[in-house]
């Protein structure tokens, strides 16, 4: 990733060492991410400007996301993630249609004064009868409830931000079988969602979403004035907030060079055990997309800085075992 001289200096391990483990890991990502085009990196460097501290850089990075990635839904352009400036990270539009999985928090809906009523009613109706969520036909009243809940949820999604997702096939390909497991914690850990549950130590209500690549392609084709040229892309360091839990994956040839999540529960460095990750063009959720409800109630294993530092190093060692990737990144001492 081609950064300005000032950012290159801040991103060096020597400069970030004194800033703490979390910042050190996050800035290392900027040194390793080869999927960011020179054009996008230059634009980013100009936007961030001549910051002199890691704290200021982190703040400017978040501001960049608000301007270029987490764009308002009514803005007449898409996130740069899906525009030509990010073409180096784009995935093939010809990927075979298959199912994607995404974990969504519902806590804010259950607490939101405008939608708490419909959200609570929906939760109480379907949490103990979750098979009904996966039925094509419900009673008129239940179908009306499901439709109204989804409409209110979509109305609260005011940003057209990219959606992090993975493949159902990488979780066995059997949705019914997955739901019988402790899927909230399984997905939280496999997808590297270190921020769940919240620091309040309260159980976090979550929903398992399942949609298809064709759903995404259709959403992008309907957004004709948004400037998007891709429906799918691998995540880069410029597509989310700075995080010690994100690690760029090597950019490999072809249109299927996915990201790989940091597994919060697995100590393996075997490449075959990595979970692929992609960003999809935002879709409007439909009632059929919500497949299960659950809670994340226990902490993951990487709460301490030392634990996540060691897990990152294991992950990098695994990435280096991929074909032709032995020089990717660096194991931090």
**Tokens, residue 212:** 């298809």
Inter-axis angle of helices 305-319 and 21-32, nearest 10: 20
Q: pLDDT band for 268, please (50, 70, 90 cuts).
A: confident
**103 in Cβ contact with 195 (< 8 Å):** no
Q: Global pTM?
A: 0.94
What's the rounded mean pLDDT across residues 153-159?
94
**Residue 199: is its pLDDT beyond 70?**
no
Closest CA to 242 of 67, 63, 84, 89: 63
Ranking 100-109, 136-145, 248-257, 275-284 by mean pLDDT, the lowest is: 248-257
Q: What pLDDT is recorded for position 266?
A: 78
pLDDT (mean) for 272-276: 90
Any idea where the domains of the chain sit in the sequence? 5-319
Tell whether the model's pLDDT for residue 200 goes beyond 70.
Answer: no
40-80 pLDDT tens trace: 999 999 999 999 999 999 999 999 999 999 999 999 999 99
Question: Residue length, the chain?
Answer: 333
Encode pLDDT of 205-256 as tens digits: 999 999 999 999 999 999 988 899 999 999 999 999 999 999 999 998 776 7
């Amino acid at each position: 990733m081609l950064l300005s001289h000032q950012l290159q200096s801040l991103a060096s391990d020597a400069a970030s060492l004194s800033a703490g483990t979390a910042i050190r890991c996050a800035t290392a990502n900027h040194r390793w991410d080869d999927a960011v085009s020179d054009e996008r990196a230059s634009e980013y460097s100009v936007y961030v400007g001549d910051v002199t501290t890691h704290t200021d850089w982190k703040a400017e990075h978040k501001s960049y996301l608000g301007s270029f990635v987490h764009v308002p839904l009514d803005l007449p352009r898409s996130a740069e993630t899906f525009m030509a400036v990010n073409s180096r990270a784009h995935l093939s539009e010809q990927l075979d249609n298959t199912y994607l999985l995404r974990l969504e928090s519902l806590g804010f809906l259950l607490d939101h004064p405008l939608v708490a009523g419909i959200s609570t009613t929906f939760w109480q109706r379907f949490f103990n009868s979750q098979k009904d969520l996966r039925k094509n036909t419900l009673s008129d009243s239940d179908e009306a409830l499901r439709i109204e809940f989804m409409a209110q949820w979509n109305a609260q999604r005011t940003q057209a931000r990219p959606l992090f997702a993975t493949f159902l096939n990488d979780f066995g390909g059997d949705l019914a079988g997955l739901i019988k497991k402790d899927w909230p914690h399984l997905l939280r850990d496999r997808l590297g969602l270190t921020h769940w549950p919240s620091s309040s130590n309260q159980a976090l209500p979550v929903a398992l979403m399942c949609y298809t690549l064709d759903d995404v392609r259709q959403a992008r084709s309907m957004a004709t004035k948004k400037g998007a040229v891709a429906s799918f892309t691998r995540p880069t360091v410029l597509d989310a907030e700075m995080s010690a839990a994100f690690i760029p994956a090597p950019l490999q040839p072809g249109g299927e060079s996915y990201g790989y999540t940091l597994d919060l529960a697995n100590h393996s460095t075997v490449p075959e055990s990595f979970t692929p990750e992609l960003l999809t063009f935002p879709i409007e959720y439909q009632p059929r997309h919500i497949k299960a409800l659950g809670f994340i109630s226990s902490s993951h294993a990487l709460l301490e800085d030392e634990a996540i530092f060691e897990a990152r190093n294991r992950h990098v060692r695994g990435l280096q075992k991929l074909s032709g990737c032995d020089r990717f990144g660096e194991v931090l001492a």
